[in-house]
Amino acid sequence: MNILVTGAAGFVGQNLRIRLSREKDCTVFPFDVANTESDLFEFLANADRIVHLAGINRPPNPSEFMAGNLGLTSTIADALEKMQRPVPIIFSSSIQAELENDYGKSKRAAEERLKLYSERTGAPVCIFRFANIFGKWCKPNYNSAVATFCFNTAHGLPLTIHDPEAPLRLVYIDDVADAIVRELTSELQGFSYASAEPVYASTVGKVAAMIQDIHDKRQKGFIGDYSDSFYKKLATTYLSYVDIPSLATAPELKRDERGWLFELIKSEKAGQIFISTTKPGKKRGNHYHDTKVEKFCLIKGKARISLRKVETTERYDLEVDEQNIQIVDIPPGYTHCIENTGTEDCIVLFWANEVMDPVHQDTYRLEV
């Protein structure tokens, strides 16, 4: 299938092209401002489907809205009608097409031209009235509040918010790309409208606060609630605006005669993950917890994990090594330790179901 994508170098176009590169038997004809009109006509003569993303949403003069959004749409429709090629078209419109502003009027006019094209040729036309799209590679400080908030927060720049309570309806770029591909690969008929889901309803102030929370948590080694799909997508988007050198952070290494230990991930909802090295013959632990539980996983070397129920004498020893990876649960009320029984430093990955609280540690010394 040959697919002409207009606006191919833009935010949605770039993400869609990458998404389409994973489809079988799919060739993309990318058209953008660097192309000529003759390129466009050649693509139109060979395309099996068209995804029309190109448009203007922030021109210097409002009068340019109609020329930019209706103009190219009319050029495409006129050419296809002249060629007598009823090529299916998927058009990226906007929820603002329902409004009376200049941008909305231009998008609505483009929709009407495509409806006429469908009626004249019988070609299927599918219109997406997208909410505000957010995600990786959107240009900040242009026309996306999310992109601007992410970029400015990641770079320590101030945010300008005129009305924190202003409503904001958002849809994620990967959901948009999936929705477009769904329509591309379906049997389109007539003139229709489609949607990309889910659409997240929020406010400008709430979104800015969530992005600030994502930023602050990252600075402290925490992650937020990734079971919330909107929060997860915002966190993913935020990370795409962090400068490459700043992606690497140095944890605080806690060193002693046994080796070192550092915290990898902390979560208010899911506890924390930490990693340690232990030198040959050295032990870690010899304590128990009332409520906290842990998982131990030796990933390098050889060790013995020992457990004993508090106020009993029976001891349990579990031999672990890198040749037979095991994940060992440590129940509450059992004093436990891990001893390096090999000849080289061992590396152990730990998970605890709560972040260590220096004031209320729930950790009590007791030899196994």
Catalytic residue ranges: 103
End-to-end alpha carbon distance in the chain: 67
CA distance 365 to 184: 63
CA distance 9 to 3: 15
Query: What 3-state class would DSSP assign to 169?
Result: strand
CB contact at 8 A, 200 and 171: yes
Residue 192: how many other CB atoms lie within 10 Å: 12
β-bridge partners, 296? 328, 350
The residue among 133, 125, 289 whose CA lies nearest residue 198 is 133
Query: What 3-state class would DSSP assign to 237?
Result: helix
What is the residue type of 60? Answer: P
Exposed / middle / buried, residue 292 (Cβ in 10 Å: 0-12, 13-18, 19+): middle
- As a whole number of Å, the CA-based R_g of the chain is 29
Exposed / middle / buried, residue 19 (Cβ in 10 Å: 0-12, 13-18, 19+): middle
| Phi, psi (rounded to 5 degrees) for 73 | -60, -45
Task: Identify the DSSP state of 172.
Answer: E
